[in-house]
Amino acid sequence: MLLGCIGDDFTGSSDLANTLAKGGMRVTQYTGVPDTKAGTGVQAGVVALKSRSVEPGEAVRKSLQALDWLLAQGCRQIFFKYCSTFDSTAKGNIGPVADALADALDAHKVIVCPAFPGTGRSLYQGHLFVGDKPLNESGMQNHPLTPMTDSDIRRWLKPQTKYSVGHVGVQDVFAGPDAISAALERQHQAGHRHIVVDAIRDADLYAIGQAARELPLITGGSGVALGLPANFGCSPGTPPWTGQPGKAIALSGSCSIATLGQVAQHKADHPAREINAADVIEGRLTATDVVSWLMDQTDLPLVYSSADPAVVKDVQAEFGRERSASALETFFAEVARRAVAGGATRVITAGGETSGAVVEGLRLKKLEIGPEIDPGVPALRAGDKLVVALKSGNFGSEDFFAKADAMLRGS
């Protein structure tokens, strides 16, 4: 294994695996830290953790376990993947995990770059934008677990880390890999260990990747990994794929603006059922009820708890944030488990926490990376008779659910 990757959630990890696979690397995504060695043909291993919203100490522990396993596979470089909207809170987890990995690897000049222009995320003068809106005006300020209320990544990271945070501006990035390397060194000499690097075009990400060739640790969204496969002698290509016939279901727990639009379009001409969080929490609705409905539907039925942020806040106020989130995650995991046991062969999920819960509920250990459905979202083979698509909340076109099912089906 050449490149070892640690992802803080499952959708983001498949996003990263997709980027590396398109770059020509042979990639395997693992759910949690494996207890066996990787196969000899794996060039990039992506260990997907569910660590984005746990306590910082737990996130650090899990990430260091993943690091130990990846180093034991012979990895030459480590990539810490977090969301392209830098989802975190003032107490972590990005900063504490980045600190721990940097310490373990004796890494300095640690790049911090959540930019991903292909999905509308750009980083300019240290500020993160989603499309033409600053991060804190993009809808992410309403995230139920990690509300992002400041677009300045330097300022957001500072309270999370024990190290100084520097910045490489877009002027140096535009000048190419050598200029980026020189700017990183200047920031290092100025006493900064974590260095936010601007990027507004894919070309910037390729240049950053070249500049990072000799660095032991890189952190960022999947976009900054665009330039990494070439460092290992790989050339772009399309992963092979065989579609899966049978029954399909879609599950959505994301409240992002993009997912709300996708849910609205899909339910206009497909069977859809909304899940009321209070009904789940108070036991008025069970997974058995929902699975029975799903399996009776034709086409691509959608079950969703996605709701307006104001509705989510009302539920959290009544039942508590952690209880509300945990109840829905457990519910979706059980729905997926029962549906697959009942014959579902294609499962599409929307939302990082929802996708993570479903992956854990189905006990998926390894995922084969297939072709891209939408930027950042690949088709994934989980077994001989099961394929899945795991979508981050803000990713995908409005017709994502139908498009994903067509790709998973192979049509």
31: left (phi over 0), alpha (psi -120 to 50) or beta: beta
Q: What pLDDT digit, counting tens, does each position of 328-352 carry?
A: 899 999 999 999 999 999 999 999 8
Domain boundaries, the chain: 3-231, 247-409
Identity of the amino acid at 174: F
Angle at 114 between CA 364 and CA 64, to 5 degrees: 50
**Whether residue 180 has pLDDT greater than 70:** yes
Q: What pLDDT digit, counting tens, does each position of 266-292 carry?
A: 999 999 999 988 888 888 999 999 999
Per-residue pLDDT, 17: 94
**Whether residue 405 has pLDDT greater than 70:** yes
Q: What pLDDT digit, counting tens, does each position of 216-243 carry?
A: 999 999 999 999 999 999 999 888 899 9
Q: What pLDDT digit, counting tens, does each position of 57-73 carry?
A: 999 999 999 999 999 99
More confident residue, 216 or 87: 216
Beta bridge partners of 388: 347, 380
**Whether residue 324 has pLDDT greater than 80:** no
Question: How many Cβ atoms sit within 10 Å of the Cβ of residue 254?
Answer: 28
CB 29 within 8 A of CB 379: no
- Mean pLDDT over 371-393 rounds to 93
Q: Which of 382, 295, 375 is nearest to 339 (CA)?
A: 295
Q: How far is CA 97 from the centre of its chain?
A: 16
Phi, psi of 210 (to 5 degrees): -65, -40
Question: How many Cβ atoms sit within 10 Å of the Cβ of residue 337?
Answer: 17
CB 109 within 8 A of CB 191: no
Per-residue pLDDT, 210: 97
CA distances to 85, 169, 200, 335 from 343, in Å: 36, 52, 44, 12
Q: What pLDDT digit, counting tens, does each position of 17-45 carry?
A: 999 999 999 999 999 999 999 988 899 99
Q: Report d(CA 89, CA 342) in Å as an integer.
A: 39
Per-residue pLDDT, 307: 65
* β pairing state of 217-220 and 247-252: unpaired
pLDDT band, residue 394 (cuts 50/70/90): confident
CB 161 within 8 A of CB 154: no
Query: Is domain 247-409 annotated with CATH 3.40.50.720?
Result: no
Query: Is domain 3-231 annotated with CATH 3.40.50.10840?
Result: yes
For the chain, what is the mean pLDDT? 93
